[in-house]
Amino acid sequence: MALISISFAISLLTYHLLQKFKVYDRISLWLAFRRLQYFTPPSKDDLKAAAGIVDVNKHKGGKKHRRQQDFPEFEKVLIPKAVDIDLVKKDLFNDLISALHYFTELKWLLNVSVTAVIAYFLTEFYYFVKDLLMGVAANTTRQIETNFSLLWCIVTAFLCIFLLGQLIVMYYKVEGHGELFTVVLAGVIGAFLSMGMLVVNEKTFDFGLKAAHKNFTEDFMKIPQIEEFARTINFSLFGFGLFIGTLSGITTALVAFPGIRFGKLYRDARDMAVLEQRKSDIGLLGASFGLPTVLCVLWMPAIREHLWAENIYISFETARILAVLSLVCVRFYTVPLFLQAHLDMPRKVLRALRKEPGRIDADDLRLQLGIPLRYTAVTAVQYFAIILLLVMLCFLYLSADLESFFPVRGNLYYYNKVAQFLGQPDDYISGAVAIHNAVWTLFTGALLKAIFGYLIWWILVSHFAFSLFSYYILQERQ
């Protein structure tokens, strides 16, 4: 298998051209912040005027009053919570966006993901054209060349996981709100439920995990170079279930807060669309929220047996992944609706305060009204990280059963050259190469597709479960 292949040049060329034409400078602004408006927090003078507070101290000559007049920003002003304030709405401009908290991380995430998507499609197009021109069977080229676009997909997936983990650490710093308890509880419940999925009859949900585990165990025991070592390791189904449970528990903990935020934003965005009678937006929001329930059903064997007719053009697995990507397209299109719902939160803050008696400090009120704008990029990271993680897992799933997914296997000729340079015997190097190549054969396409497919399904289920929970909790509170 060639290590430096055309796909390597395609990946480098994609990155260079996107940087050359300054796409990286504009793509994050267009994808996340197009057509958005925000409410400017009123000044302290505006709040005093709205509350009917007259500055009676300006004619007094006391030392305390002169100090308050010289430094009015330190003056504590209490205004009624039911004060009538007119919020001014302005367009979100680039300089303000660049100063948002977590904007740099969001920009990195979107830039890397755009590079991964473009490199993946260009590489797939190259494989298709080359096979067509050479007159060989489909997927022949990809079996002799390393697909470097998948490396971009893996980097993007790990970047999504890293940013979601960073947000969890940020939530840990909030005291007295139960964020740590929520994450731990979500992870534990997700781990136990996922282990229970291995016990479920395959006629209900079939992910191919049991068959993949069986093939992995049998192939591992057949490797002659490590036969004695293989006997000492117990790759039981329970141990495999612990691995899947741990993986699912971590995934559930990562998607907990994005799912809760998504359900809250869906309710706010839908209410605003209903109020303004935007029927098309209502339909798109409903599809964005409810499509995961339909997609999760596609992993049931009964759907495949009764509602799908196999043909020579597309398999059921490919159609299922395309359905997941259609959900991603809908959510990309509805990004402005959800983020605008987040930026409209100051109106909800004022409505909630009007229901409470008493007074509030003007600075505290201005801070509450400015928090949604400050954390807009954080909300965008939570929104994009989930759908980009789904996209990358879909790409890895489609390429999991192909040789191009793996790095180049050990070439005995080059390893012998290295052995001569290091002064190692040839038989030692040849044995190491044989073990290396044999171990790579364990990670078959069936095993990788089973794991990637299960992760896609689990992210859809857990994210929708938290969104639904958040939606009904908010409905009960209102």
Query: CA angle at residue 376 from 372 to 380, to 5 degrees?
Result: 140
Alpha helices, H only, 198-278:
209-221, 227-231, 237-275
Domain boundaries, the chain: 6-42+85-406+443-477
Give, for 424, the enclosing helix (H) or strand (E).
Answer: none
Q: What is the DSSP string of 162-174?
A: HHHHHHHHHHHTS
Which of these, 393, 397, 384, lies nearest to 459 by C-alpha position? 393
Count Cα atoms within 13 angstroms, Cβ side, for 347.
Answer: 13
Q: What is the pLDDT of residue 343?
A: 95
Which of these, 371, 368, 363, lies nearest to 45 by C-alpha position? 363
Query: CA angle at residue 193 from 191 to 194, to 5 degrees?
Result: 65
β-strands 88-91, 78-80: how paired?
Answer: unpaired
What pTM, to 2 d.p., does this model score? 0.88
Structure tokens at 447: 């095993």
Q: What is the pLDDT of residue 248?
A: 92
pLDDT in tens, the chain (478 residues): 445 578 888 888 888 888 887 788 888 889 999 889 999 888 888 888 887 777 655 555 555 555 555 545 556 788 888 888 888 889 998 889 999 989 999 999 999 999 999 999 999 999 889 888 888 887 777 777 778 888 999 999 999 999 999 998 887 776 555 567 888 888 899 888 888 877 776 677 878 888 887 877 777 776 665 555 555 555 677 778 888 889 999 999 999 999 999 999 999 999 999 999 999 999 999 999 999 989 998 888 888 777 776 655 678 888 899 999 999 999 999 999 999 999 999 998 888 888 888 888 888 888 889 999 999 999 999 999 999 999 999 999 998 866 545 544 545 555 555 556 666 665 666 666 666 666 666 677 788 888 999 999 999 999 999 999 998 876 655 5
Q: Which residues contact 149 (CB under 8 A, 6 or more apart)?
A: 7, 10, 11, 116, 119, 120, 122, 123, 124
Q: How far apart are CA 421 and CA 25, in angstroms?
A: 47
In our burial notation (b when 16+ CB lie closer than 10 A, e otherwise), range 119-134 reads: bbebbbebbeeebeee
